[in-house]
Amino acid sequence: MKNFKFHVPTTIYFGKGQIEKLGQEVAQHAHNILVVYGGGSIKRNGVYDAAMAQLAANGITAQELGGVDPNPRIATVRKGVALCREHGLDGVLALGGGSTIDCAKAIAAGTLYDGDPWDFVTGIASPRKALPIFTVLTIAATGSEMDSVAVLSDPDHNEKRSFSASCVLPVCSIMDPTYTFTLPARQTAAGCADIMSHTFENYFSRVEDAYFADRVAESLLQTCIQCGPQAIAHPDDYAARANLMWCSSWAINGFLDAGKPVAWSVHKIEHELSAFYDITHGVGLAILTPNWMRYILNEKTESRFAQYGVRVWGLDSSLPLRQLAESAIDKTREFFTSMGLPATLSEVNIDETNLRRMAQKAHQPSFDKTFVPLSEDDIYNILRMSL
Ligand code: NZQ
Ligand code: ZN
């Protein structure tokens, strides 16, 4: 294991009714805030009313920015920054999923930055300070509620890029699993695939002696495999929703990759699919992941895939390594399909047209250090396999 620093100061209030802690938490840091949300699900399921009641009861005033799109737009971030400056706001509260939270993070940092917030994702600037960020999570998926990452899109230029900065770690996140009861099955499934993908990105690494993280990763995957279908079949299954929600945070909060440098290669490829075709992040990952696994399966990697098959899928360890590895990959594909997720790009209306450009844009220098190094041609081949 490599050396690492782990510091995640986000306070989590987890469980039914924990919204009652929101007002007092916000009041410790801010008094006049921006409330950010998406297309309206929070108005239909009561989250908006509960959060606003908390603010009012604690004397916190608010401006609102609704309409954040899935794959949040830089234009919305700019709008939020303008609102914060115009009204002298001193905090940002996100009510929703990863898109809303990421937008809130960029607004919080952008308000205190003397330039355009898109600079954060191009690397022109790295945020050093941000307004305090609070979240009320409504979908188990990205882990944005407990991580330092934000992913932003510029659809006019087919760009989807991320930044990471410790100043955008939420101060506090409210995680009430009952808020996810209203999620449509497809979003539940996509969220589950996203959590599993975060886990795979960390699990399939060149560092092989991070036993503790690897055993936790395996149990995270097993939890998703058990709870994803349960939550789809019974949307108000509290235990299934709660376990998925807690997995979402721990798959990406820095614990699983502590001591294991990882390149997030499947994510970089998926971000190009979303950048060009505006598809749901978890759907893109579900299509790509089994193909990426098949592509990188070789004599050197088969033992890791076999371990995944035995420990996560309970396959018979006496079978030959290659057979175990292939079965584990088949199981992964079958699982995603069983949750109603597509298996091919053509099912989400993506054809060959932009594959070469997407492969070029997805490729990063860090891909030389991934579990199996990936060139631009390799990425292109994985995309072609996914058609
Ligand atoms: O917009 P509303 O009306 O709220 O509807 C949303 C949206 O249509 C709906 N939804 C959310 N909670 C709901 C609900 N509908 C009914 N009931 C509820 N309780 O679900 C749809 C998707 O929401 P979104 O926030 O887009 O989902 P998700 O959390 O999957 O976020 C995806 C975004 O996060 C990025 C993705 O790339 C994508 O842009 N990611 C962020 C990461 C991070 N910050 O660490 C890492 C991830 O790998 C990912 O890249
Ligand atoms: Zn993801």
53-76 mean pLDDT: 98
Mutate to test the pocket of ligand 1, among 105, 138, 255, 279 (most ligand atoms within 8 A of CB): 138
35/93 Cα distance (integer angstroms): 5
Among residues 16, 353, 383, 381, which one has the least CA distance to residue 180?
A: 16
SS3 string, 289-325, reads HHHHHHHHCCCCCHHHHHHHHHHHHCCCCCCCHHHHH
31-55 mean pLDDT: 97
Nearest ligand to the C-alpha atom of residue 151: 1
Residue in this structure with the two tokens 């230029």, named with its chain if needed:
157
Q: Is the pLDDT score of 60 beyond 90?
A: yes
Q: Is the pLDDT score of 204 beyond 90?
A: yes
What pLDDT is recorded for position 3? 95
74-98 mean pLDDT: 98
111-136 mean pLDDT: 97
At 229-274, the pLDDT tens digits run 999 999 999 999 999 999 999 999 999 999 998 999 999 999 999 9
3-state secondary structure of 174: strand
What pLDDT is recorded for position 385? 98
Residue 50 CB coordination number (10 Å): 19
Q: How confident is the model at residue 175 (pLDDT cuts 50, 70, 90)?
A: very high
Q: Taking the model in full, what pTM does it have?
A: 0.98
Helix (H) or strand (E) holding 142: none
Among residues 264, 268, 220, which one has the least CA distance to residue 245?
A: 220
188-216 mean pLDDT: 96
Residues in the 5 Å CB sphere of ion ligand 2: 194
Residue 111 CB coordination number (10 Å): 22
Q: Point out the ligand 1 atom lying closest to the alpha carbon of residue 264.
A: 48
What pLDDT is recorded for position 148? 98
CA of 97 to the centre of ligand 1 (A): 4
Residue 259 identity (one-letter amino acid): G
CA distances from 383 to 54, 190, 285 (A): 47, 19, 12
116-133 mean pLDDT: 97
- CB neighbour class for 142 (10 Å; exposed up to 12, middle 13-18, buried from 19): buried
What pLDDT is recorded for position 369? 82
Q: Are 57 and 99 in contact (CB under 8 A)?
A: no
Which residues does ligand 1 sit against, CB inside 6 Å?
A: 38-42, 45, 70-71, 96-100, 102, 138-139, 141-144, 147, 149-151, 179-180, 182-183, 187, 191, 194, 252, 267, 281-282
242/175 Cα distance (integer angstroms): 9
Among residues 46, 42, 89, which one has the least CA distance to residue 66?
A: 42
Among protein residues, the one whose CA lies closest to atom 20 of ligand 1: 187
Q: Point out the ligand 1 atom lying closest to the alpha carbon of residue 72.
A: 39
At 300-333, the pLDDT tens digits run 999 999 999 999 999 999 999 999 999 999 999 9
Give me the phi and psi of 89, to 5 degrees please: -75, 155
95-120 mean pLDDT: 98
Q: How confident is the model at residue 27 (pLDDT cuts 50, 70, 90)?
A: very high
* Residues contacting 29, CB < 8 A, separation 6+: 90, 91, 132, 171
Residue 384 CB coordination number (10 Å): 14
- CB neighbour class for 300 (10 Å; exposed up to 12, middle 13-18, buried from 19): exposed
Q: How far is CA 80 from the centre of its chain?
A: 22
136/120 Cα distance (integer angstroms): 24
Q: Is the pLDDT score of 211 beyond 90?
A: yes
Q: Is the pLDDT score of 195 beyond 90?
A: yes
CA of 368 to the centre of ligand 1 (A): 30
Mean of the per-residue pLDDT values of the chain: 97
Q: Are 30 and 58 in contact (CB under 8 A)?
A: no
At 326-372, the pLDDT tens digits run 999 999 999 999 999 999 999 999 999 999 999 999 999 999 988 99
Q: Is the pLDDT score of 386 beyond 90?
A: yes
Q: Is the pLDDT score of 12 beyond 90?
A: yes
- End-to-end Cα spacing for the chain: 37
3-state secondary structure of 187: helix
What pLDDT is recorded for position 370? 87
